[in-house]
Amino acid sequence: MQNKLKDVVNILQQARHTVAFTGAGISAESGIPTFRGKGGIWDKYDPIILEIDYFKKNPDKAWPHIKDMFYNVIDKAQPNPAHKVLAQWEQQGLLKAIITQNIDNLHQKAGNKNVIEYHGNTRDLICLNCGKITPVKQTDMTQNPVTCPHCGGLLKPDFVFFGESIPLEAQQQSLWHTQSSDVYLVIGTTGIIMPASLLPYEAKKNGATIIEINLTPSNYTNTITDIFLQGKAGDILPGLQKLMN
């Protein structure tokens, strides 16, 4: 593993445009459950809660679970060493952008500025009636369902539900960075949920070196991954950083 780490350090230090593509696994060591795998969110909750049609028809059933799944957990979560290394690498000019599937805001909390939130975020809520965006911090989240302070309409979390499309700007920025990258770090993702999961394939097609960090093999490991660093992101990324110093 040590030689692999040294190889990755050399690749990163010579790269022109490194991009990190992250999933729930990078936040696991911050206490945020992943979606799949032992103790994952989908072990406890039915994904239908995050289907947009179900939510619109049953907001009073969906909202309590959504608060338990996300809002009651994310607020207390802090960036872990994996997030912090990516923030250092952006400051040092080693990392051009993060494309994250996560909605926990931990990359920004760690200090990264160029974060593309492919699935939106949990900072804001959007009104399905008047379209206004209200920060969670300015909303009475004790209500069920949560309603708009401007018009009383139903508020929905400002992240992408199943059956909704990816925000256009996130799609465009992600594609540009993916097609510009020569090194693509794939960190903590099963590579199952499309269209996000297609991005590493696009990077590979454009000639990027795929470096994957994961506890277990993913859909990418035996197909497009060039270097697989198996283990916790919170151990491996600081290990790489240490070799750089």
Nearer to ligand APR, 173 or 219 (CB): 219
Closest distance to ligand APR from the beta carbon of 140 (Å) = 26
User: For residues 86 and 237, is the Cβ–Cβ distance under 8 A?
Assistant: yes
Distances in whole angstroms, Cα of residue 127 to Cα of each of 100, 133, 136, 146: 24, 6, 12, 10
Amino acid at 103: I
Cα 107 to chain centroid, rounded: 9
Closest distance to ligand APR from the beta carbon of 157 (Å) = 12
User: For residues 126 and 133, is the Cβ–Cβ distance under 8 A?
Assistant: yes
DSSP state of 122: E
Closest distance to ligand APR from the beta carbon of 135 (Å) = 21
User: For residues 221 and 230, is the Cβ–Cβ distance under 8 A?
Assistant: no
Nearer to ligand APR, 28 or 148 (CB): 28
Nearer to ligand APR, 35 or 89 (CB): 35
Nearer to ligand APR, 151 or 192 (CB): 192
Closest distance to ligand APR from the beta carbon of 40 (Å) = 6
- Name the closest residue to ligand APR (Cβ): 25
Nearer to ligand APR, 63 or 118 (CB): 118
How far is it, in rounded angstroms, from Cα 233 to Cα 237? Answer: 6
Interface residue list for ligand APR (CB under 6 A): 23-25, 28-29, 34-37, 40, 101, 119, 188-190, 192-193, 213-216, 218, 232-234
User: For residues 35 and 113, is the Cβ–Cβ distance under 8 A?
Assistant: no
Sign of the alpha-carbon torsion through 165, 167, 169, 174:
negative
Distances in whole angstroms, Cα of residue 159 to Cα of each of 57, 67, 118, 165, 196: 18, 13, 9, 10, 14
Please identify which of the residues 17, 65, 83, 119 carries the catalytic annotation.
Answer: 119
Closest distance to ligand APR from the beta carbon of 142 (Å) = 26
For residue 119, indicate whether it is catalytic.
Answer: yes
Residue with tokens 């957990």: 73
Q: Which residues are annotated as catalytic?
A: 119
